[in-house]
């Protein structure tokens, strides 16, 4: 665990109760991921996926980052903490604050940023792409992370909304390649001159950029990546979501029951 990740995890644990999910990864080896205890969603990116952002920031030193989808702020705070160490100037997030316990998540995200004293990070409420032009603070973002509504065509709308505020060397990161909205967006990105690289992280990240020299550098950094990876079956996403909903729902239901049972067992033992 890097220093930045350690800081973020410790600060989050002081603010909110979280639980680990997918401790060994979801689609590929990786993880763990986090949720607010007692909730099914949203789920944070994995620690292995934080490491990808860490390498990108160390190598390319983005000054301005825009993040679509923030939940309880785990990834944005990690990105901002890393950027603070490497000359970053601003990180702006845009989140509708409706997924899961939306308002509670947003409050935790802001508390986390405050606790870590991340002055470069600003969390803003709104809908992408309708509010994108309103909340941005620069017209030249160097890093963009799209991780909000993964259904089609929402991902593509997110992409179109932020594209005018980027440049040829801007690196786009998509999360959850296995979900149905990502590949259609990547096909649209290709028409805009993007090349993209799939990474075998826990939930499958994709890195895309228009500049060929930057893309070549990404390929050197991530030799395990695959250019233009074949999409999964459309049934995969539904099957995984159904399985995870059942598993996490069982965890939420059974945890208090098991806790009471353990307490009763200890009381009988003391007697």
Predicted confidence (pLDDT) at residue 240 exceeds the cutoff of 90: no
Predicted confidence (pLDDT) at residue 264 exceeds the cutoff of 60: no
Q: Provide the pLDDT confidence category of residue 270 given band limits of 50, 70 and 90.
A: low
Name, in order, each residue with C-beta under 8 angstroms of 32's C-beta and a sequence gap of 6 or more: 20, 21, 22, 23, 24, 46, 47
3-15 and 47-60 helices, crossing angle to 10°? 130
pLDDT digits (tens, 9 = 90+) for 150-178: 999 999 999 999 999 999 999 999 999 99
192 within 8 A of 210, measured Cβ to Cβ: yes
Please tell me the predicted confidence (pLDDT) of residue 41. Answer: 87
Please tell me the predicted confidence (pLDDT) of residue 239. Answer: 83
* For the chain, counts of helices (H) and of strands (E): 9, 10
Q: Provide the pLDDT confidence category of residue 258 given band limits of 50, 70 and 90.
A: low
Query: Helix, strand or coil for residue 248?
Result: helix
pLDDT digits (tens, 9 = 90+) for 14-72: 999 999 999 999 999 999 999 999 888 899 999 999 999 999 999 999 999 999 999 99
Mean pLDDT over 168-192 rounds to 97
Q: Percentage of residues in the chain with pLDDT exceeding 70? A: 92
The span from the CA of 174 to the CA of 150, in Å, is 10
The span from the CA of 120 to the CA of 42, in Å, is 24
Q: Which residue has the tokens 């390929």?
A: 219
DSSP letter (8 states) at residue 31:
-
Q: How far out from the chain centre does Cα 242 lie?
A: 21
Instruction: Output b/e per residue, 60-97; b: 16+ Cβ within 10 A.
Output: bebbbbbbbbbbbbbbbbbbbbbbbeeebebbbbbbbb
Predicted confidence (pLDDT) at residue 268 exceeds the cutoff of 60: no
Q: Percentage of residues in the chain with pLDDT exceeding 90? A: 82
Q: Which residue has the tokens 């030193």?
A: 61
**Mean pLDDT in the chain?**
93
pLDDT digits (tens, 9 = 90+) for 80-93: 999 999 999 999 99
Mean pLDDT over 225-234 rounds to 93
Tokens in use for 139? 């017209």
- Output 40-44 pairs: Cβ under 8 A, ≥24 positions apart: 40/100, 40/244, 40/245, 40/248, 40/249, 40/252, 41/99, 41/100, 42/71, 42/72, 42/99, 42/100, 42/105, 44/71, 44/72, 44/74, 44/75
Radius of gyration of the chain, Cα coordinates, nearest whole angstrom = 19
114 within 8 A of 140, measured Cβ to Cβ: no
Q: Which residue has the tokens 């939930």?
A: 203
pLDDT digits (tens, 9 = 90+) for 92-137: 999 999 877 889 999 999 999 999 999 999 999 999 999 999 999 9
Predicted confidence (pLDDT) at residue 185 exceeds the cutoff of 90: yes
The span from the CA of 76 to the CA of 135, in Å, is 16
């Amino acid at each position: 665990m890097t220093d930045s990740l350690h800081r973020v995890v410790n600060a989050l644990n002081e603010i909110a109760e979280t639980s680990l999910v997918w401790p060994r990864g979801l689609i590929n080896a990786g993880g763990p991921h986090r949720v607010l205890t007692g909730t099914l969603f949203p789920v944070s990116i994995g620690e292995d996926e934080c490491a990808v952002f860490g390498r990108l920031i160390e190598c390319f030193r983005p000054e301005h980052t825009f993040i679509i989808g923030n939940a309880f702020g785990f990834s944005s705070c990690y990105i901002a903490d890393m950027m603070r160490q490497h000359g970053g100037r601003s990180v702006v997030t845009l989140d509708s604050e409706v997924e899961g316990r939306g308002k509670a998540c947003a409050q935790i995200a802001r508390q986390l940023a405050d606790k870590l004293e991340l002055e470069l990070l600003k969390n803003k409420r709104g809908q992408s792409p309708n509010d994108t032009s309103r909340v941005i603070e620069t017209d030249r973002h160097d890093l963009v992370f799209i991780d909000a509504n993964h259904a089609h065509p929402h991902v593509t709308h997110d992409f179109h909304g932020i594209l005018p505020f980027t440049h040829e060397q801007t690196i786009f990161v998509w999360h959850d390649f296995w979900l149905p909205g990502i590949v259609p967006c990547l096909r649209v990105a290709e028409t805009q001159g993007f090349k993209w690289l799939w990474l075998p992280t826990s939930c499958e990240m994709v890195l895309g950029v228009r500049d060929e020299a930057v893309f070549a550098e990404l390929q050197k950094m991530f030799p395990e990546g695959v250019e233009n990876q074949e999409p999964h079956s459309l049934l995969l996403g539904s099957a995984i979501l159904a399985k995870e909903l059942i598993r996490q729902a069982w965890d939420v239901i059974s945890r208090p029951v098991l806790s009471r049972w353990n307490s009763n067992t200890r009381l009988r033992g003391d007697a």
